[in-house]
Structures are given as C-alpha cells and as structure tokens.
Amino acid sequence: NAGVTQTPKFRVLKTGQSMTLLCAQDMNHEYMYWYRQDPGMGLRLIHYSVGEGTTAKGEVPDGYNVSRLKKQNFLLGLESAAPSQTSVYFCASSYWPFGVQPLKAEQFFGPGTRLTVL
C-alpha cells in the first residue's frame, strides 16, 4: 500500500496562474481532507469530502475549489493563485469519522506539496 500520495511535491507559480494538486489514497477511505500549514498558524482545513461526488467547505476555503470524481482521488484547484496561498498543502484520508469506530478513525496524511506563489 502506498497510503496517501500527493502530486506534485514542489511547485512555483506566478500570481494569477492556475494549478491542480492531486491527492490519491489506496486504502478505500471514505473521507478525504485538504489542509494548509503555515508558520505560526498550524494546520487549517480547506475543504473536505465525505464520499465520492461530495465536497464541502472547511475553515479557509476562499480561493480554492475541489472535486472528488473518484473515491480514491481528491483534487485541490487554485484558479488564480495569490502570494497568500504560498503554503505547504497536506491531504489526509480516514475510513470512518472519529468517534464511530476509533480503531479506524485516525487520519492518514500525505507527504505534502510545497507551493510558492510569486
């Protein structure tokens, strides 16, 4: 099992450019999440999905769009990148939500994508 993988690992964009970050998991997890990690801010939830074909907003959704066309993939899109979106982006997945089946409730994280917007 590869677990959670993210593509690309690094990317530099100019302001106004667009790009898509890909997250893939091979654990048959229902739930998938996108976080961003900024110095002094901790990790914050951008968007999440509770199943194929569903998406919902997290804490900091502005400037991002997501899609979950296949259960194993969760895409994060930046339509018009801004310097404020310079960050490290993490994808995570889980089988069950916390509190339902605790042994399967933990979130598994990908290695991250380091994005710089100039």
Partner 1 sequence: KQEVTQIPAALSVPEGENLVLNCSFTDSAIYNLQWFRQDPGKGLTSLLLIQSSQREQTSGRLNASLDKSSGRSTLYIAASQPGDSATYLCAVSLPLTQGGSEKLVFGKGTKLTVNP
For residue 93, how far is the Cα from the chain centroid?
A: 9
Backbone torsions φ then ψ of 104, nearest 5 degrees: -110, 10
* Nearer to partner 1 (CB atom), residue 16 or residue 35: 35
Distance in Å, CB of 41 to partner 1, minimum: 7
Subset of residues 8 to 37 that bind partner 1, contact rule: CB under 8 A: 31, 33
* Contact between 32 and 56 (Cβ < 8 Å): no
Closest CB 48 distance from partner 1, rounded Å? 7
Show contacts with partner 1 in window 39-98 (CB under 8 A): 40-45, 48, 50-51, 54, 56, 58-59, 90, 92, 97-98
The nearest distance, CB 104 to partner 1, in angstroms, is 10
The CB-of-73 to partner 1 minimum distance in angstroms stands at 17
Strands 73-78 and 65-67: antiparallel
Burial of 1 (0-12, 13-18, 19+ CB in 10 A): exposed
Asked if 91 and 109 count as a contact pair (C-beta separation under 8 A), the reply is yes
Binding stretches for partner 1 (CB under 8 A)? 4, 31, 33, 40-45, 48, 50-51, 54, 56, 58-59, 90, 92, 97-100, 102, 105-112
